[in-house]
């Protein structure tokens, strides 16, 4: 059934705790502490952050903490970008000129499509994780309902419902534009400019080692304050991502169980069960999987590529059952179909390259 597929696509890709392990690897590089115990501790701390507060307080606490940390992340990368770009040999102007030139963006695309190594992994990881995957959008819907926003099926039948629904959707679009397009895109651009300002076009170390290389470069070129600001921003990114993934994955999975599969267990119990199940599964994989932390991110990226394709095609099918007032228009459906096809093609390309 659709509910079973949605439950599997929601939970399985996030069993590999890539964000926790990359954060643990960064701590290992800075302190010498073993990476796996640090990663396991961060997983448990993220879970406790979600299950210790009263259920009615979790949304408020998570929203406030995430808001503070995301503001710090955006401000931190802006400060670092301006610092690195001031007076250096590699300016933002040079970055955008190279990107727009014939040897820039198209050369990168050509390298990616003919490669099975780092450029391909960067494309897939960036494509899927720019918005932390479709799971955050699904979780956003759960948050909206918990706030008492939105409209149910019966309400859509009354007079004036179409205008009210459109007004509500316009609000959602504005908030998405601010959070996803504004926050995510600007952060990605700033981070790209930081690394370009530090390294230019020269090749850097692979996996998570480029993070420690950037820390060293910032300390050598500026002061220890710049390098530690970078560390703080990086750890904030990893922690907020882990909290968001655990929270929204568990809440979405619980909603699917109750409403799609008819499970009668109360929602709070289901959410906490999924939180600890994800932590337990991630801990077991961390212990038994010998691969480096970066590959946990890559594994999640691979699986989420398939999940995103599934979400898109599933929505196209299920939207046909909506009341007419709530159905997306033809242009929106076309865009959704193109996006789902893109993710499907990415997944096929990745698996073809990975399997030889």
Query: Residue 44, class by beta-carbon neighbours within 10 Å (0-12 exposed, 13-18 middle, 19+ buried)?
Result: middle
- Give pLDDT tens digits for 288-308: 988 788 788 778 877 888 888
**What pLDDT sits at residue 277?**
93
- Give pLDDT tens digits for 89-110: 677 766 666 666 655 555 555 5
| Contact criterion met (CB below 8 Å) for 11 and 133 | no
**What pLDDT sits at residue 130?**
46
Per-residue pLDDT at 269 exceeds 70: yes
**What pLDDT sits at residue 252?**
84
Residues 12-24, mean pLDDT to the nearest whole number: 86
**What pLDDT sits at residue 96?**
67
Mean pLDDT, the chain, integer: 76
Rg of the chain, C-alpha, whole Å: 21
pLDDT bracket for residue 24 (50, 70, 90): confident
- The structure tokens listed for 4 are 């079973």
What proportion of the chain, given as a percentage, has pLDDT over 90?
A: 6
| Contact criterion met (CB below 8 Å) for 80 and 192 | no
Higher pLDDT, 70 or 143: 70
Per-residue pLDDT at 30 exceeds 50: yes
Q: Which of 97-111, 126-140, 249-263 has the lowest mean pLDDT?
A: 126-140
């Amino acid at each position: 059934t659709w509910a079973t597929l949605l439950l599997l696509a929601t939970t399985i890709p996030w069993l590999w705790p890539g964000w926790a392990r990359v954060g643990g690897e960064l701590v290992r590089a800075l302190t010498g502490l073993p990476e796996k115990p640090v990663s396991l501790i961060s997983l448990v701390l993220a879970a406790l952050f979600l299950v210790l507060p009263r259920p009615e307080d979790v949304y408020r606490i998570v929203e406030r903490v995430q808001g503070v940390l995301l503001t710090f992340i955006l401000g931190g990368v802006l400060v670092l970008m301006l610092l690195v770009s001031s007076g250096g040999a590699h300016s933002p102007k040079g970055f955008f000129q190279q990107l727009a030139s014939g040897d820039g963006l198209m050369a990168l695309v050509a390298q990616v499509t003919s490669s099975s190594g780092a450029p391909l992994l960067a494309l897939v990881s960036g494509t899927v994780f720019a918005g932390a995957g479709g799971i955050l959008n699904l979780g956003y819907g759960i948050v909206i309902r918990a706030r008492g926003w939105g409209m149910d099926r019966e309400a859509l039948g009354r007079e004036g419902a179409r205008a009210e629904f459109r007004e509500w959707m316009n609000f959602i679009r504005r908030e998405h534009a601010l959070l996803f397009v504004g926050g995510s895109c600007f952060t990605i651009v700033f981070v790209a400019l930081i690394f370009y300002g530090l390294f230019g076009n020269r090749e850097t170390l692979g996996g998570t080692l480029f993070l420690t290389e950037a820390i060293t470069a910032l300390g050598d070129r500026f002061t220890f304050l710049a390098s530690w600001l970078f560390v703080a921003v990086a750890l904030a990114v990893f922690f907020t991502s882990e909290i968001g993934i655990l929270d929204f994955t568990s809440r979405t999975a619980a909603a699917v169980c109750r409403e799609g599969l008819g499970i009668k267990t109360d929602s709070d119990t289901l959410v906490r069960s999924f939180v600890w199940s994800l932590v337990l599964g991630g801990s077991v994989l961390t212990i038994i999987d010998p691969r480096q932390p970066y590959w946990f991110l890559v594994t999640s990226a691979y699986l989420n590529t398939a999940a995103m394709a599934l979400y898109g095609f599933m929505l196209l099918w299920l939207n046909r059952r909506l009341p007419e007032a709530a159905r997306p228009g033809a242009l929106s459906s076309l865009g959704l179909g193109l996006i789902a096809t893109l993710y499907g093609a990415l997944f096929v390309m990745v698996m073809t390259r990975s399997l030889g």
